[in-house]
Amino acid sequence: MTENESSRPLSLDQIPEDPLAIPPPYWRSTGAIFQIQDALEDITTLLYDIISVNNETNIELEDYYEKFPYEEDHPELEKFGDIVDDLIMLEHKIKIKAELVIFMSAIQSEDKINKFCVYNLHKDIAESIEKLSPPEKLLIASASVGVKDIKGKAVFDSISKLSSWRNAYAHGHCVDRPVKSLRHNHLIPPTEYPNVPNSIINMKEMVERFINVDEYLREISLNSYTSGISGEVEDIKDLLGEISRYHFHVSDKSKEIYSVERI
């Protein structure tokens, strides 16, 4: 057992009420940030794989549609399935990994806010706002350390968008359309279904919102423990940079037809 571990508080009465007197590093994270890292690493591999598979699929489909130009004239549907199966499987994996990244980015954002509250706000304030929504917690936490009027700032918009997405996803709604009612959300088809290019763009935007929340909290932290740079967040930035090297070119004919290149 190290010196830090031996001095770690084992009961609540051993934790100082003054947040700036709480000795680090004792915050037990949800671990969502590791889910983000792992899923982003998977996405970089899947994007690399999809370049060749997408190219091959598009070439084979061109030949197929030359033979069978009309949708109702598809006597070889089994052959069509063989052509698109590998691409569809890759697309599916990318989409669900992208959703996982967004969901965990929202979870990790709230974990960051909770950690900020514990290490920067008096126990009575931190515990009294614990059950509020992440945007509400961020608003009160900011005001408590002297930062007011954040509703018009990018960070408030970021945490609001992340929380809304998480709530929709966690409550079983389709997140690609406005959530008005169960019937509207689940029974009325959208004008366009999410494709891989849109999934990647949306995922990158939401991860950047998480990074925005993380950087904001570090900037306003009074406690040096919560003002430090996170190695995991820096790794996430690097992975986003790698993903940004993949460029999609969507066909004018159909949103489902696109090419991919790595720059």
- pLDDT cut 70: percent of the chain above it: 94
First to last CA, the chain: 48
Single-letter amino acid code for the residue at 81: G
How is residue 252 written in tokens? Answer: 């004018």
User: What mean pLDDT comes out for the span 226-243?
Assistant: 95
Helix axes 32-67, 196-220, angle to 10 degrees: 160
Q: How much is the pLDDT for 75?
A: 61
- pLDDT by residue (tens digit) across 42-97? 999 999 999 999 999 989 988 888 887 766 555 667 788 889 999 999 999 999 99
Rounding to the nearest 10 degrees, give the CA dihedral for residues 123, 26, 142, 102.
Answer: -130
Q: How much is the pLDDT for 78?
A: 76
Distances (CA, A) of 122 to 19, 40, 111, 126: 6, 36, 18, 6
Q: What pLDDT band is residue 1 in, cutting at 50, 70 and 90?
A: very low
Tell me what the pLDDT averaged over the chain comes to: 90
pTM flag (> 0.85): yes
Helix axes 196-220, 231-243, angle to 10 degrees: 150
Chain position carrying tokens 């423990």: 225
Single-letter amino acid code for the residue at 252: D
Q: Is the pLDDT of residue 3 over 70?
A: no
User: What mean pLDDT comes out for the span 187-213?
Assistant: 93
- pLDDT by residue (tens digit) across 103-147? 999 999 999 999 999 999 999 999 999 999 999 999 999 999 999
Please compute, for residue 126, the number of CA atoms within 13 A of its CA located in the half-sphere on the CB side: 15
Q: What pLDDT band is residue 163 in, cutting at 50, 70 and 90?
A: very high
Of 20-29, 49-58, 59-68, 148-157, minimum mean pLDDT range? 20-29
Q: Is the pLDDT of residue 5 over 50?
A: yes
User: What mean pLDDT comes out for the span 16-27?
Assistant: 79
Distance (Å, whole) CA 133 – CA 124: 17
